[in-house]
């Protein structure tokens, strides 16, 4: 059991624990805070995968922006859900069964795949090459089209969100 394995087990346990409390917490604000912990721990998992850039970006975007957005939305809709009474749907046993079924199916499917137990690193890592990522995103034979479509998506989301969430103007 090397140090990295112990670290990954610990981080994985924290993530799953935080995720379970997120989906089963009674108060929605607590669920949002546990979600922040889960997202932060996923950033740590990214770091163990030697994708340091994505770890930093995960913290900056998810914890620094999306989580805060969720907390704002929780604050703005506070009167509705009084945080008491059942927080789960009437169909929650079926949901539990389906999730467990999906998990079992995934594990069985993956373990029957050949490369499941790929052990150590494929190649000695020469360090993360962010410049290559940047070049690939704007390369003509690369991924420039998805890049531009993603930026259009962001503009549409920006304008749409402002319009949808704005106060209805008086006549």
Partner 1 sequence: MTLWYEDPIKLIANWLFGLMLGWGMPVDTANFVLTLLGAAFLGVVPLLFCIFLIWYERKLLGRIQDRFGPNRVGPWGIFQPFADMLKIFIKEFITPQGADVVPYNLAPILSVASVLLIWAVVPFSMTMMGVNLNVGLSFIIGCGGLGLLAIILAGYGSNNKYALLGGMRAVAQLISYEVPMVMSLLVPVMLSGSLGVNDIVQKQTVPYIILAPVAALIFFITSVAESGRAPFDLVEAESEIVAGFNTEYSGLKFGFFFVAEFLHAFTISLLFSTLFLGGWRGPFTDQVPLLGFVYLVVKTFIVYFLVILFRGSLPRFRIDQMMDLNWKLLTPLSLVTLLITALLANPLSGMPLLQAVALFLVNLAALVVLMSWAERKMPRKRKIVAKTRPLATPNQQDQLSA
Partner 2 sequence: MIPLSWYLIFAACLFCVGLYGVMARKNAIAILMGVELMLNAVNVNLLAFWRYLWFTKVDGQVFVAIVLVAAAAEAVVGLALIISAYRRRNTVAAEEMDMLKG
Residues of span 16-35 touching partner 1 by CB under 8 A: 29, 33
Long-range pairs for 144-147: beta carbons < 8 A, 24 or more residues apart:
none
Residues of span 35-54 touching partner 1 by CB under 8 A: 36, 52-53
Q: Which does 114 bind (CB under 5 to 8 A by kind): partner 2, partner 1, none?
A: none
* DSSP 3-state of 125: coil
Shortest CB 123 distance to partner 1, Å: 18
101, 93 contact by CB (below 8 A): no
Q: How far is CA 98 from CA 61, 105, 136, in A?
A: 31, 10, 39
Measured from the CB atom, the residue of 72 and 116 that comes closer to partner 1 is: 72
Measured from the CB atom, the residue of 4 and 140 that comes closer to partner 2 is: 4
Q: Which does 75 bind (CB under 5 to 8 A by kind): partner 1, partner 2, none?
A: partner 1
Q: How far is CA 126 from CA 46, 49, 129, 134, 137, in A?
A: 17, 14, 8, 17, 21
Q: Give CA angle at 137 (135, 140), nearest 5°.
A: 85
Q: Which does 119 bind (CB under 5 to 8 A by kind): partner 2, partner 1, none?
A: partner 2
Measured from the CB atom, the residue of 53 and 116 that comes closer to partner 1 is: 53
Q: Give CA angle at 126 (119, 113), nearest 5°.
A: 25
Q: Which does 14 bind (CB under 5 to 8 A by kind): partner 2, partner 1, none?
A: none
Binding site for partner 1 (CB under 8 A): 3, 29, 33, 36, 52-53, 56-57, 59-60, 63-65, 67-68, 71-72, 75, 127-128, 130-131
């Amino acid at each position: 059991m090397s140090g990295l394995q112990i670290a990954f087990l610990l981080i994985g346990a924290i993530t799953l624990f935080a995720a379970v409390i997120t989906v089963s917490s009674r108060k929605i604000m607590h669920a949002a805070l546990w979600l922040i912990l889960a997202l932060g721990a996923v950033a740590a998992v990214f770091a163990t995968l030697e994708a340091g850039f994505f770890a930093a970006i995960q913290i900056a975007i998810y914890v620094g922006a999306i989580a805060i957005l969720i907390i704002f939305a929780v604050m703005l809709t506070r009167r509705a859900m009084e945080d008491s009474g059942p927080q789960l749907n009437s169909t929650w046993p079926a949901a539990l069964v389906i999730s467990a079924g999906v998990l079992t199916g995934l594990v069985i499917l993956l373990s029957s795949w050949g490369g499941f137990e790929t052990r150590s690193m494929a190649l000695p890592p020469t360090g993360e090459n962010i410049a290559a990522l940047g070049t690939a995103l704007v390369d003509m034979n690369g991924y420039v089209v998805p890049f531009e479509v993603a930026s259009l998506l962001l503009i549409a989301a920006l304008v749409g969100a402002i319009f949808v969430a704005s106060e209805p103007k008086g006549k």
